[in-house]
Amino acid sequence: MVPAPGENENALDQNRLALPPCRLFYGARIAISRTDAMFVATLLSNPAAPALDPAAAEALRNAWGGGDLQWLAPDEAAEFTLEVAPANLWQVWEDMQAMGIDLAMQPAKARRKKMLLADMDSTMIQQECIDELAEEAGVGERVKEITARAMNGELDFDGALRERVGLLKGLPETVIGEVLDKRITLMPGGRELLATMKASGAYCALVSGGFTAFTSAVARQLGFDENRANTLIVEGGKLTGEVATPILGREAKVQALADITARLGIGEGDVMAVGDGANDLGMLGRAGAGVALHAKPVVAAECSLRINHGDLTALLYLQGYAKTDFTV
């Protein structure tokens, strides 16, 4: 789903260049009067199957009158600067998507962020933890249906979480460890993303609407500085079917952004946030760079930084890191 042009598209003032990337580039051709307010266009593909044709990238740079094409990784990622945001951005975006290429545009200034704020389920890992627990409890299809509707914004998150957790009542606590060992896999590129940003001095926080039993393990594996999530209540070695309150949902993620940036003494513009579900929209809209990663349609429609083909290393390319800069 591609946004329609917004109002006053030819009169976007300079102050809005400092706003989060969601709902910013709607096909307007925006005159830039200062070189530090230029834009950067980033083209990238799936690292597992690089598909960025050099001729196509050069043709786009030429058509838009951009600066020299800079390759961040051969056949995988490249970027070039622009003095204006092109009027046909989203039309070209659609064309690139059909070629297996992600196209992103953002202000060039302050692209390299001081903090990463990440969702966990279907973002830092490839699964939804509650769905995997539900499979063990024999209620997988029912819970998956609720999860999908909640992540699409069709259901109240708190109510949907309570309903799903209720279906897990009586499940042995030991199943959590089994699910972690057998069912949970990291999203490709996550280790490079964390290691590279931390090597540059960035702070990394994992904030999930899932459960602390999983976020603590994922945070240890990837090197997050802190993690926040919901807590499953256990009695007698079994899940009670209840979750501790208050429930961490959309507003709690926004609050985490505010709390952590204040504690670190940085601005929200210094943050790159990444997520895929409706409960991530608040933090994606507030962060300096809000990235919708393989996101649900309702989320993608609200954000201009959309990664559908690349993996988590795309977040490094968006910040101007070359592959040779990655820390492994």
Q: Are residues 290 and 224 part of one domain?
A: yes
Instruction: Tell me, yes or no, whether 67 lies in a domain.
Output: yes
CATH, residue 21: 3.30.70
Q: Are residues 148 and 50 part of one domain?
A: no
Range of the domain at 243: 116-325
Q: What digits encode the pLDDT tens for the residues 154-210?
A: 988 999 999 999 999 999 999 999 999 999 999 999 999 999 999 999 999 999 999
Task: Identify the sign of the CA torsion 168, 225, 324, 44.
Answer: positive
Chosen domain end from 57, 91, 109? 109
Instruction: Tell me, yes or no, whether 8 lies in a domain.
Output: no
Q: Are residues 75 and 54 part of one domain?
A: yes
pLDDT score for 257: 98
Q: What distance in Å separates the CA atoms of residue 31 and residue 292, rounded to the nearest whole number?
A: 27
- H-assigned helices in 200-249: 212-222
Instruction: Tell me, yes or no, whether 130 lies in a domain.
Output: yes
DSSP 3-state of 261:
helix
CATH, residue 151: 3.40.50.1000
Chosen domain end from 76, 109, 142? 109
Q: Are residues 83 and 123 part of one domain?
A: no
pLDDT score for 94: 97
DSSP 3-state of 40:
strand
Q: What digits encode the pLDDT tens for the residues 43-58?
A: 999 999 999 999 999 9
- Which regions in the chain score pLDDT beneath 70? 1-37
Q: What distance in Å separates the CA atoms of residue 327 and residue 173, rounded to the nearest whole number?
A: 36
Q: What digits encode the pLDDT tens for the residues 236-257?
A: 999 999 999 999 999 999 999 9
Task: Give me the active site residues, please.
Answer: 119, 121
Q: Total domain count for the chain?
A: 2
Instruction: Tell me, yes or no, whether 9 lies in a domain.
Output: no
pLDDT score for 178: 96
